[in-house]
Structure 1
Amino acid sequence: MRAAVFKGVNEPLQIEEVDEPEPADDEVVVETEACGVCRSDWHAWQGDWDWIGVMPTEGLIFGHEAAGTVVEVGDDVERLREGDRVTAPFNLSDGTCVHCRNGRGNICERMVPMGFLEMAPGGFAERFPVRAADQNAVKLPDEVDPVSVAGLGCRFATAYHGLAHRVDLTPGDWVAVHGCGGVGLSAVHIADALGANVVAVDIDDDALAKAEKLGAVETIPVTEVADVPQAVKGVTDGSRGVDISIDALGIAETCRNSVNSLGKGGQHLQIGLTTSEEEGEVSLPVDVMAMDERDFYGAFGMPPNRYDEIFRMMEYGSIDPGRIVAETIALEDVPETLTSLGTYDTVGIPVVTEF
């Protein structure tokens, strides 16, 4: 089968013929119909994240936002059949650890990141396997287009999990989103659907315009303000600060701006992961956080057992992940598209649909 293959840090991916995946007893093989090209792929491609154990080796197949149709089923798989349409979270869990048993498979103790390790090749290929399929493969409703849910493996689902399950968002809350890439725009759309007043923050006018279309009531162009947190506070009631603030990019500046945009009792949500500049470490105003009782939360994917919440909201038109999709591309376009993510020129999610 054809796949986009990793050749080394900062080396262009190569489209090659590779061996077809064969399902282990607990796995299914999925014929890929759509796969998002994510900034997380770009991070790994350029050599970020070795400090958290992500060290891609030559021959790896990236792609962790995939959806498609089951074409082979392992002997021990009980819940799935050939012909089922599925997606899967990028953080594949085993279904047996204490966190999995408590419904938090996204932080499984034996989690394997799809498309980042050789044992779990990803969706930049004609087919991909899903380990522990009864645990991880999420059946798609008949009416759901695979392109629309290509972001559910990572960006859209992470934003939803963070806003719906991690922080205490209530209708009427002020929510700031720092960084309006794929996950940031997803957060804008979801926060609006959940009844928040959303403030979108970015350096790019096109990204801010897209955020407005997705529900942002205020936008702040970073290049035009001297103090981002004060600008955010200025649009809230009495300049009190926002109730929830999200770092959707993962650099020191956006993380600190997010924390400093909060009012008393506010909640910071960290979705973006850092680059080699920070190596996972960001200094924060801990004294103010303590005195104001500002909370710091993280969100990492979403438990596979909770995807039905998103499907129900899609069914009744409350949210539409497809609105975040920027363009559809062919497998041959993946190397160039991946490289371009470093320039922040893409607004929304590029999705591979031709394999």
Structure 2
Amino acid sequence: MKALLVESFQSVPKITQVTDPIAPEDGVVLKVKATGLCRSDWHGWMGHDSDIKLPHVPGHEFAGEIVEVGKEVKNWKIGERVTVPFVCACGICPTCQSGNQQICDNQFQPGFTHWGSFAEYVAVYRADTNLVALPDSVSFESAASLGCRFATSFRAIVAQGQVKGGEWVAIHGCGGVGLSAIMIASALGAKVIAVDISEVKLNLAQVAGASILLNGKLGDIASQIQELTKGGVHVSVDALGSRITCANSILSLRKRGKHIQVGLMAGTEENPPIPMHLVIAKELEILGSHGMQAYAYDDLMRMILQGKLNPEKLIGKRISLDDAVDELPRMDEFRDSGMSMINRF
């Protein structure tokens, strides 16, 4: 099959032919119909993820059609349209049994621990635990856009933040994760403040549902938010993953507010200073969001089918697998607006 192959970290990947995957006994093989190009893929290409063994095929947010089924799979058949969470669970460890498959003790992640979806086909293990059925009205591109950024943001806003109508929410960083979080929080009736250093991305944030736009280059962002909200936001999300956005997010909170870290902290940014005196004095909560369980997709799909969420609006451009050779190494330049979606192989 045709695939994008990374042979060494931080070197230009190549398009080549590799061996087709075989369905695991408990899994399936999907024909990839769409797969998102995500900054997490860039982190992997940089060598920030110790799970990646070279040579490697990236790609972790995808949707497709089942073309092969393992003999132990009970609930799926060839021809069905599906997607998967980017964290795939074992379903049997204590963490999974507690309902938290998104942080499974024995997780596998296509595109990180295993070869991923920047290819014509991809294997998915433990299909009965991890596959998510796609309604006919949800396109492959919409489904692929859910896999990492949108689903992680959905869990951040709904499960971790428990955002309610009328609350103030700040989103720091308006890339794919940030725009997803803005759309979700707005759909729940929150008053959303979007922060970015790009006016183009702030305009997209307004389209996604943000009611206040702040340029991070202009002044003290945390102080501006504290003043605008008369005491701070209820929930603040670092959707980028930097020392500055993490600190601004925490400093933006009102008493008993919640900071949610979604943007990955890696390299020189991985251990940011935290204003712990405020965490204590204001009784703040510091939370993470790392993907979403397959069973939790029902609530997300329901909001999509009801027209409350439209993830396809967040796709900035559609590219080919060949285009990804140039696009992947440049993900940290933040040139693009919205998500990049590979839909031609």
2:46 aligned residue: 46
Is 2:261 the partner of 1:267? no
Question: What one-letter code is carried by the residue in structure 2 that aligns with 1:188?
Answer: I
Is 2:246 the partner of 1:255? yes
Question: What one-letter code is carried by the residue in structure 1 that aligns with 2:314?
Answer: I
SS of 2:322's equivalent in the other structure is helix
SS of 1:124's equivalent in the other structure is coil
Gaps of 5+ in 1: none
Write the distance in 2 (CA, Å) between the matches of 1:78 and 1:162.
Answer: 31
Give how far 1:168 is off: 2.5
Is 2:204 the partner of 1:213? no
Is 2:221 the partner of 1:231? no
Give how far 1:137 is off: 1.0
1:246 aligned residue: 237
RMSD, aligned α-carbons: 1.0
Q: Which of 329, 345, 355 is the equivalent residue of 2:335? A: 345
SS of 1:116's equivalent in the other structure is coil
Is 2:152 the partner of 1:158? yes
Give how far 1:11 is off: 0.7
Gaps of 5+ in 2: none
Write the distance in 1 (CA, Å) between the matches of 2:186 and 2:143.
Answer: 19
Q: Is the 8 A contact 2:24 2:124 kept in 1?
A: no
Instruction: Report percent identity of matched pairs.
Output: 38
Q: Which of 108, 113, 117 is the equivalent residue of 1:112? A: 108
Is 2:80 the partner of 1:80? no
What is the count of residue pairs matched by the alignment?
345
Give how far 1:275 is off: 2.3
SS of 1:288's equivalent in the other structure is helix
SS of 1:264's equivalent in the other structure is strand
1:296 aligned residue: 286
Greater than 6 Å deviation, 4+ residue runs: none
Give how far 1:92 is off: 1.1
Q: Is the 8 A contact 1:71 1:82 kept in 2?
A: yes
Query: TM-score w.r.t. structure 1 length?
Result: 0.95
Please give the residue correspondences for 1:1-355 in structure 2 after superposition, counting only pairs within 5 Å: 1-49=1-49, 53-54=50-51, 56-117=52-113, 120-225=114-219, 227-236=220-229, 238=230, 240-278=231-269, 280-355=270-345
Give how far 1:344 is off: 0.4
Q: Is the 8 A contact 1:70 1:83 kept in 2?
A: yes
Give how far 1:59 is off: 1.9
Q: Is the 8 A contact 1:6 1:57 kept in 2?
A: no
Write the distance in 2 (CA, Å) between the matches of 1:12 and 1:233.
Answer: 44
Deviations 1:269-313 (A, max 9, x none): 1101112112x3111111111110111111000011010111110
Query: TM-score w.r.t. structure 2 length?
Result: 0.98
Deviations 1:179-208 (A, max 9, x none): 111101100110100110000000111100
